[in-house]
Amino acid sequence: MMKIFKLFLFFNLIFAIISCSESKLIYSGKIINQKNLDNLNISNKNKLVENFGQPSFIDPIENKYFYYFEKTKKNNFFSKKSEYSYIFVFEFDQNNDVIGKKVLNLNEVEKIKINKMKTSNEVVKRGLIERIFGGVGTQKAPNTN
Can you tell me the mean pLDDT for 55-75? Answer: 87
Instruction: Map residue 131 onto helix, strand or coil.
Output: helix
User: What type of residue is 57?
Assistant: F
pLDDT of residue 127: 66
Burial degree of 112 (CB within 10 A; 0-12, 13-18, 19+):
exposed
% of the chain exceeding 70 in pLDDT: 66
pLDDT of residue 10: 83
CB 110 within 8 A of CB 84: no
How many C-beta neighbours within 10 Å does residue 65 have?
20
pLDDT of residue 34: 67
pLDDT of residue 74: 81
pLDDT digits (tens, 9 = 90+) for 125-135: 666 666 677 66
Residue-range domain boundaries for the chain: 21-109
The pTM (predicted TM-score) of the whole model is 0.58
